[in-house]
Structure 1
Amino acid sequence: MMLFSNQPGDEGLPGDERARVMAAVMTTTLMGVFDGTMINIALPSMANAMQVSANVAVWFANGYLLSAAMTLAIFAALAARIGYRRVFLAGLTTFTLTSLGCALAKTPEVLIGMRILQGIGGAATLSIAPAILRSVFPGRLLGRILGLHALLIASSTAIAPVLGGTILDTLSWQWLFAINIIPGSIALLLAWRALPRKAAVDSAPFDTMGAVLSAALLGSTIMTANSFQHVLQSAGQESVTWALIAMVSAIAFIWHIRRSRAPLLPPVMFKNSRFTLAALTSLASFVSQGITFVALPFLFQSVYGYSPVVSALLFTPWPIGIVLIAPHAGRWADTLSAPLISTIGLIIFVVGLVLLATLPSSPSAWNICLRSLVCGVGFGCFQSPNNREMLSNVARENASYASGVLSIVRTFGQCLGAAVVGVLLTVAAAPEHQTLDEQTVHLALWIAVIASTGSVLFSLSRLRPAVRAAA
């Protein structure tokens, strides 16, 4: 296989060692993404089993998301100072052990605590996974390996609800966590044997104040997004409070990193317009994806009357489209213009979203699947070239920071997208709107079209600098 063949002048690791590292990173990424998404479908069952309210049960999911979001930037910076190997192994060990803890939890308090720790372990691995791949694979293969990594993340996000529903239909909710133990142990063994023992690339002291401000900023932003659904109650006081905390934290964090000698995130990265535009493009696209992934289940189940399992299956063409195109897009990005390829993918993605937003009142399953397939093809063509553009436009010693930014924009984009749907559903659930109507869901999809159109504009603005740099 070309990914593991060696050519003269290749940097990174020999082919057989690359294969072991790739297996460890991909397995860990698969577990992390699955665990962050498929738990949502199990929340009602878990609430009934533990006899808790929905407000408590939602923290079985939010605890993981919040702790992961708060620590993504911290682990990206820590990896640059103590090495990828230590951070990845510690994170994978924590994630695997807390998966067992979640499966054995008997009380909601213990389960929430385990989920918070599990989110920290997941953040340690997901934040630096692309940086590890860049460090062990030669530059000529960067687009291809990032294409496979992007394919895995996107496909896992779409497939996770189907797997979660299948497990719940045949087993108990505890197996949603227990299934991580064996693959987690295998990945840990592979990572222990294959990850190189390289010296840290940044010898500066760790930026503790930057870490605190970063955690406050990221955590309060997530809480702001989550509280949007209560914006119609209590005059939106909860949302306003969290939004103010996020604004103050953002100002303080920016002020700090611009004056610190060893900041948590080097500002020099964002002076590269191609890196910054790639990050903004990714953020806007994941907002669109987050809206779509939350809105479509309501459309399929509440409007069209499909069962949860069938609704999950209607998502299948999306990952199929990614599987079909993402590896090729990554390979094209290694030889052609990555911004051009990702822009073409985004345009196809917008077309697919428009097709979904214009679904008729009683479409056939084939009609839905074909429109979803167009979205998957477009997103698969966009993501890996865009990720390559981000990682290849920073110095190699800043790869872990760029990898952290990549994970942050993905997480925040999806959270903001979900928040948009939450606001719309809150409006639809108001007394004057007793039922969830089709117009509300279609409005959410049109907002996704607007967000993805914004990502196209960001992407178009970088084409001329990219062509000029290539020339």
Structure 2
Amino acid sequence: MLSVCIGVGMASLDTAIANTALPAMAEQLHATPAASVWIINIYHLAMVATLLPLAALSEIVGYRRMCIAGVALFTAASLACALSGSLPALVTARLLQGLGASALMSVNGALLRVIYPAHLRGRGFGTNALVVAVGFALGPSVASMILSVWSWPWLFAINVPLGVIAVALGLRVLPRTARHGGRFDVMAAVYTMGAFGLLILALSDAAHLAPLPATLAELALAVLFFVLLLRHEAGKKAPILPTDLFRRPAFALSSLTAVCTFACQSLAFVSLPFYFESVLNRSPIETGFLMTPWAVFVGIMAPIAGRLSDRHSPGLLGGIGLAVLAAGMMSLYFLPLQSTALDISWRMAVCGIGFGFFQAPNLKAIMGSAPPHRSGGASGIIAISRLTGQSIGAALVALCLSLSSLHGASHALLLGALFAALACIASFSRLLVPVLPMD
């Protein structure tokens, strides 16, 4: 478990510190702001495009091998990032880093299912959610501290010793899991990477107001790849895009809950810095502190919710948490212009409590509604749901800001509350569908 937590923590921390340090990296590499965005985008695209193929491959080669290989690649790529002397070299290293993170994330849920017995599984998912929350919470602070003393390559160099420790622990303690045989479907993998990669690329281009014809072309190609994928995999027992799992109502509703909730989170996290600085006239340093209560309370609530999910329905727990999240988002939408730090902080804390109460039970619900031999596919859907929701949220923030630079951030918060309400409805709907025990 420790090896998995170190790997997940590194991937979460790396996402946060890269976002924070992007201006410093652009300046020292003599790159334009527009070009430097690829340091972030290529990592995201690599993860989204390869998650499901790697999840399918993990069911053939074993979850343990995929996890160790992912951490090893992430560690080596982190060293390559630290040694990069130009933007193309750094972008290439970030591509490899994204592949390593994808391999790890594709089996994270599956390994937790193997490591923890059924009656303690909620506790395991709660611990995992805590690690992710801590990684995101510490990211900006860690980046600021490192950049105040050293240059940006050290942001990636700190991953190397941690990665070596994680690989050593993984080789020693991670359980060997059963392999389910079969051949890896290369064409299905190509279609999947094309479909999800182009979809996220189209959303990203729309968010950055790219020319409309190019965005529509990317979206059309994504739809074409999805059609080709569905035709290619029709009738297969274990497709890379797990349509067999989506026929299970509990799995489909849990995945929909995740997409809507992470869209809400993205709408908040992307729009709030604009709101705090442009509307409330807060400094960037104040903004960083004001964003912290959300992540802190996710970390506090996630283990509690995980333990509760071992005794209570994830649909009930998730629904309650998401109702709290929707209320917190509405309280931010109605935030007075003359607000104190306390006024903002308690609203952010409410959002964090609601989000933390949803996360671990929903992870358990997704994994628990899939049969054991499809744990790899279910684990991949967990990560895909998160990344898809975050991409949708970021694109909607860009749309809101382009429609109204003054009120766009407020409109994004209102949309976030709407997504949280939809997620709440989807979560409570799980109480109406049967969930067969899988273990």
With normalisation by structure 2, the TM-score equals 0.96
Q: Which residue of 2 aligns with 1:16?
A: none
Q: Secondary structure at the match of 1:121?
A: helix
Cα shift readout 1:114-133 (whole Å, capped 9, x = no counterpart): 00011001100011111111
Q: Decide which moves more: 452-461 or 360-369.
A: 452-461
Cα deviation, residue 87, structure 1: 1.0
Q: Which residue of 2 aligns with 1:151?
A: 130
Percent identity, please.
35
Distance 2:269 2:312 in 1: 31
Tell whether the 8 Å contact from 1:346 to 1:382 is kept in structure 2 after alignment.
yes
Q: Which residue of 2 aligns with 1:205?
A: 183
Q: Indicate how the Cα distance of structure 1 residues 298 and 266 shifts in structure 2: closer, same or farther if over 3 A, else same.
A: closer
What is the RMSD computed on CA atoms of the aligned residues? 1.6
Q: Secondary structure at the match of 2:177?
A: coil
Distance 1:108 1:312 in 2: 27
Q: Which residue of 2 aligns with 1:15?
A: none
Q: Which residue of 1 aligns with 2:315?
A: 339
Q: Which residue of 1 aligns with 2:376?
A: 400
Tell whether the 8 Å contact from 1:338 to 1:389 is kept in structure 2 after alignment.
yes
Q: Indicate how the Cα distance of structure 1 residues 247 and 468 shifts in structure 2: closer, same or farther if over 3 A, else same.
A: closer
Q: Which residue of 2 aligns with 1:464?
A: 432
Tell whether the 8 Å contact from 1:224 to 1:243 is kept in structure 2 after alignment.
yes
Cα deviation, residue 170, structure 1: 3.0
Q: Which residue of 1 aligns with 2:67?
A: 88
Q: Name the count of aligned residue pairs.
A: 437
Distance 1:27 1:367 in 2: 35
Distance 2:431 2:265 in 1: 23
Tell whether the 8 Å contact from 2:19 to 2:40 is kept in structure 1 after alignment.
yes
Q: Secondary structure at the match of 1:126?
A: helix
Q: Which residue of 2 aligns with 1:450?
A: 418
Distance 1:92 1:468 in 2: 34
The one-letter amino acid paired with 1:453 is A
Cα deviation, residue 105, structure 1: 0.3
Tell whether the 8 Å contact from 1:33 to 1:157 is kept in structure 2 after alignment.
yes
Q: Decide which moves more: 411-420 or 272-281.
A: 411-420
Q: Decide which moves more: 384-393 or 312-321.
A: 312-321
Cα shift readout 1:3-30 (whole Å, capped 9, x = no counterpart): xxxxxxxxxxxxxxxxxxx110001001
Cα deviation, residue 230, structure 1: 4.4
Cα deviation, residue 157, structure 1: 2.5
Distance 1:112 1:378 in 2: 36
1:253-264 maps to which residues of 2 (within 5 A)? 253-260=229-236, 262-264=238-240
Q: Which residue of 2 aligns with 1:281?
A: 257
Distance 1:82 1:131 in 2: 13
Tell whether the 8 Å contact from 1:71 to 1:123 is kept in structure 2 after alignment.
yes
Distance 1:173 1:53 in 2: 17
Q: Which residue of 2 aligns with 1:440?
A: 408
Q: Which residue of 1 aligns with 2:24?
A: 45
Is 1:111 the counterpart of 2:106? The answer is no
The one-letter amino acid paired with 2:320 is I
Q: Gaps spanning 5+ residues in structure 1: where? A: 1-21, 429-435
Q: Which residue of 1 aligns with 2:203?
A: 225
With normalisation by structure 1, the TM-score equals 0.90
Is 1:59 the counterpart of 2:38? The answer is yes
The one-letter amino acid paired with 1:113 is T
Q: Decide which moves more: 382-391 or 162-171.
A: 162-171
Q: Which residue of 2 aligns with 1:351?
A: 327
Tell whether the 8 Å contact from 1:73 to 1:214 is kept in structure 2 after alignment.
yes
Tell whether the 8 Å contact from 2:369 to 2:436 is kept in structure 1 after alignment.
no
Q: Indicate how the Cα distance of structure 1 residues 312 and 403 shifts in structure 2: closer, same or farther if over 3 A, else same.
A: same
Cα shift readout 1:42-89 (whole Å, capped 9, x = no counterpart): 111111111111121001111111111111001111110010121111
Q: Decide which moves more: 34-43 or 126-135.
A: 34-43
Tell whether the 8 Å contact from 2:13 to 2:136 is kept in structure 1 after alignment.
yes
Q: Indicate how the Cα distance of structure 1 residues 291 and 158 shifts in structure 2: closer, same or farther if over 3 A, else same.
A: farther
Tell whether the 8 Å contact from 1:206 to 1:262 is kept in structure 2 after alignment.
no
Cα deviation, residue 467, structure 1: 8.6
Q: Indicate how the Cα distance of structure 1 residues 285 and 82 shifts in structure 2: closer, same or farther if over 3 A, else same.
A: same
Distance 2:435 2:92 in 1: 50
The one-letter amino acid paired with 2:399 is V
Cα shift readout 1:84-111 (whole Å, capped 9, x = no counterpart): 1211111111100110110110011111
Distance 2:134 2:228 in 1: 37
Cα deviation, residue 355, structure 1: 0.7
Question: Paired residue for 1:33, among 12, 36, 46?
Answer: 12
Q: Secondary structure at the match of 2:286?
A: helix
